[in-house]
Amino acid sequence: LHIVIPASILSLIIYWLIRDRHKVRNLSGKYVFITGCDTRLGNALAKWLDKRGFCVIAACVTEQEGQELRSCSSLSLKTVNLDLADSSSISKAVVFATEETAGKGLFGLVNTAEGTTHTAAPTDWLTIDDFHSALSVNLLGLIEITLKLLPLLKKAEGRVVNLINAKGFMTFVDGGYNLSKWGMESFSDTLRRDIQHFGVKVSIVEHSFFNAKVNWGIMERDLLRLWNRLPNEIRDSYGEKYFSE
């Protein structure tokens, strides 16, 4: 054991060093589909991969955002409109990706998209629709686009990379937002085991906070809206002092 254990540890370290030095070669012709390219993170990633020679398919919510991205990228970067809350929009984006890759498949799918609805309020102030609005994009939309792109990923023995904001694991009063982040973790872990048989890899990147401006005025207005729609018995049980504080 005194020999086996150190030898095993040394072998593992050597394996890690060799693995981490391995770089992907011949980037030209490798297609990467990125969701959420209308956000700062997805937009920056699309530009970064484009400069390194990947064929990027950047999914944006609106055509205007797609045009702005194309204007500062190479001709190999393509954009497609994608609303992850709309199944028909997802299907159209998948058809676009299938035609663009022309039988080569997808080298990568990177999910960076996030919904804009982060309702911050006590749980019993919320309705099931408030949870649906967060889960429809952050979790269910992500699952749907991933499942529909799996045939292309299998064809190229590609990889799925899900970017998950670490703040989703600190459960504050955010309705379905935190649920979606835990769900993304679980879905990614299950998917990783299920499709490794096809040579497809699944990774999770838990990124930290960004220096984003918080519009407190919008948050206060949303909180007031929720407060005003509460049934009297719930509002009375909290009281005006609770709401003000």
DSSP labels for 17-83? HHHHH------TT-EEEEE-TTSHHHHHHHHHHHHTT-EEEEEESSHHHHHHHHHTS-TT-EEEE--
Pairwise CA distance, residues 45 & 60, whole Å = 13
Q: To the nearest 10°, the Cα dihedral for 140, 164, 68, 219? A: 80
- Nearest one of 175, 89, 100, 166 to 131, comparing CA atoms: 175
Pairwise CA distance, residues 83 & 166, whole Å = 23
Task: Count the Cβ atoms, other than its own, within 10 Å of residue 192.
Answer: 15
Active-site residue among 15, 177, 238, 242? 177
Neighbour order of strands in the sheet with 201-207: 78-81, 55-60, 31-35, 108-111, 159-165, 201-207
- Contact assessment for residue 66 and residue 46, using Cβ atoms and an 8 Å cutoff: no
Task: Tell me which residue has tokens 């207005």.
Answer: 221
- Is position 177 annotated as part of the catalytic site? yes
Burial of 64 (0-12, 13-18, 19+ CB in 10 A): exposed
Q: What positions carry a catalytic annotation?
A: 177
